Chain A
């Protein structure tokens, strides 16, 4: 039996808004599961139902085999870390960490020992007497984590805990969260809209959209084998090219005058329009004559002519924006930064190539909304 099980959970708010629809999940003991999705997709509502702050309108929630669906939050033994830290301003760091233990009527020496233990775990042993306002955002969130872990909860819930922190601290703290979670082996549910965070931290990711589960899988599965158009577009940057089906069984498509081969066995009929999605890092760049590209440009690759529109350095990665076809569809190419390689100048004619297995064919009626992904990529250029 799963340690945490959500079975057909639904949440309808007064007024009729259906925030979560038929959500089912089975998480094992010690697993790190992330809920990933855009704002308003129902991920936080689902987390709040696990915590007991919201009551499901249908379905059940069981923790370690016990039905907790109607159990009040203070009797669930679930630790929670909030985006806004939620440290008690009137209490010192030590008192904040000790609060859950005091509620459980632990003895004084036991509380003292546990507080010291937790403050060492979060690397703040010298901050016991400080008040929350005397700490930085990162320190406050570490104290909030220690407070949530102090009473040894059965499950740890984190609701976008790093959103209020700056980028550098966010990365450092997420490594710390992962280390602590592994060290304690506690079952953890983490809510985030940051795909990088979800992919790096999680054993499994639940991608949500519009109150529904789109896909549950390992970060590798989610990124490389997206189950729906939404997952494909939401996780990572995606280039979407409109193509016409030529040979459904052979997975052959036409993009203007050029043929694009895929490894998919298509359900569409010849002449139907579909969208071919390709990750930026799966595309290679070569001069129009085949020069300056991969030394060995193996046969069997899809090749398309393109015009370089912009080039941006993103540190270790160089992102090249090209325009493909008569309708000048933007196609982004990510390549590792290598000073010895020449980058094509803006306006030059190039050839882009990608293997058939990198093509994800999405039905005409399931074209992912690329607005956000493309806007993000544009913003980097």
Chain B
């Protein structure tokens, strides 16, 4: 009988793991405290970086006499709410179109054409390289005459604005969606859906999109934030958007631009929160889980 064998040796399952685990657990406490202090410093600096300009803007907006006069004047101007509403609507259409374009593309590239990924990534990064002014001049040149005279009508110009914004939001939307797809086992989910009788459209609409909820929301927020304040493209296409309105206001008034900036900032955040709440459907209760991972 092998009674001489030690009770636990290197071959005992878990023996080495438990040793390694205990080694990891014994971390010196002072180092952890130092790390925590640095984290707080970085956090406070980051917060100050965002908060200080807002406080300064608030201060400028309140310099008008009487107090809050800048706000009341701004709200009284119909162009303020009109331009903001226009930009929101354009932003929402942009988000919808971006999702319709990016989700199937990123899904297909991941599933069937991974070798094309670098090409698609390069294309989606182009808006970082091409300035909006160049983009809008290109669009005007291409679409102001037959066969596609978009700029000849208000609707056509707005459509052109949406297309330009879809291009601008590509880097953000593609990266968000791609990261979301990486977090789920799309190949197995797709095959499971196929074996149950689903076609491609059903798979994208009922399986892929609901499981990309968080990624889509983050892409949508970024796209919306860019669209709301965009100036160059909207201005050259002569659209009644919020960016050109703000620039016009800044050239003629002293305190109102600061008030309008703060109000639009708040409204944009409210819109994002609303989208986030709307996005919390039934399936949002389910966490995105990598299939099979425990």
Q: Do A and B come from one complex?
A: yes
Interface pair A74/B195, CB less than 8 Å apart: yes
B197 touches A82 (CB 8 A): no
Task: Let me know if A164 and B11 touch, CB within 8 A.
Answer: no
Report the separation of the CA atoms of residues A310 and B2 in the bound assembly, to the nearest whole angstrom: 7
Neighbouring A residues of B197 by C-beta, 8 Å: 74-75, 77, 100, 103-104, 151
Interface size class on chain A is: 35 or more
A41 CB, min distance to chain B CBs, angstroms: 21
**Number of B interface residues, CB 8 Å?**
31
Chain B residues lying within 8 Å of A345, measured Cβ to Cβ, are 1
Contact status B289-A89, CB under 8 Å: yes
Interface contact A311-B192, CB-CB below 8 Å: no
- Complexed CA–CA distance, A88 and B189 (Å): 7
A85 in contact (CB, < 8 A): yes
Which of B184, B191, B196, B213 is A151 in contact with, Cβ under 8 Å? B196
Chain B residues contacting A157 (CB-CB under 8 Å) are 195
Q: Which chain B residue has the least Cβ–Cβ distance from A48? A: B191
- CB atoms of A100 and B196 under 8 A apart: yes
User: Which residues on B sit within 8 Å (CB–CB) of A100?
Assistant: 196-197
Which residue in chain A gives the minimum CB-CB distance to B209? A90
> Which one, A78, A90, A137, A379, contacts B195 given CB within 8 A?
A78
Q: Is B286 interfacial (CB 8 A cutoff)? A: yes
Q: By the criterion CB–CB under 8 Å, are A73 and B2 in contact?
A: no
Q: Is residue A346 within 8 Å, beta carbon to beta carbon, of the partner chain?
A: yes
Interface presence of A91 (CB below 8 A): yes
Q: Does A86 contact B (CB under 8 A)?
A: yes
Q: Mark B203-215, 1 if CB is under 8 A from A, else 0.
A: 0000100110100
B286 and A133 contact, CB distance less than 8 A = yes
Chain B nearest CB: distance from A136 CB in Å? 9
Q: Would you call A53 and B194 a contact (CB within 8 A)?
A: yes
Q: Does B32 contact A (CB under 8 A)?
A: no
A157 to B199, CA, bound (A): 20
CA of A75 to CA of B199, assembled, Å: 9
Query: How far is the CB of A106 from the nearest CB of chain B, in Å?
Result: 11
For the complex, is B291 an interface residue (Cβ under 8 Å from A)?
yes
Say yes or no: A133-B291 contact (C-beta < 8 A), given A74-B199, A151-B197.
Answer: no
B1–A86 touching, CB < 8 Å: no
A254 at the interface (CB under 8 A from B): no
How far in angstroms is the closest Cβ of chain B from A93?
A: 11
Evaluate contact between B2 and A312: CB separation under 8 angstroms. Answer: yes
A300-340: contact bitstring with B at CB < 8 Å (1 yes, 0 no)?
00000000001110000000000000000000000000000
A84 and B1 within 8 A (CB): no
Chain A neighbourhood of B213, CB < 8 A = 90
Residue pair B291, A131 in contact (C-beta under 8 Å):
no
Contact assessment for B288 and A89 in the assembled complex, using a CB-CB cutoff below 8 Å:
yes
Which residues of A are found within 8 Å of B2, using beta-carbon distances?
310-312, 346
The 0/1 profile, CB within 8 Å of B marked 1, for residues 156-180 of chain A is: 0100000010000000000000000
Which A residues have a C-beta under 8 Å from some C-beta of B?
51-53, 72-80, 82-91, 99-100, 103-104, 131-133, 137, 144, 147-148, 151, 157, 164, 310-312, 343, 345-346, 379
Show 12 residue pairs from A and B whose CB-CB distance is below 8 angstroms, ordered by the A residue: A74-B194, A86-B189, A88-B189, A88-B192, A89-B291, A91-B286, A99-B196, A133-B287, A147-B192, A148-B196, A151-B197, A312-B2
Residues of B within 8 A of A (CB): 1-2, 4, 11, 184-185, 188-189, 191-199, 202, 207, 210-211, 213, 283, 285-289, 291-292, 294
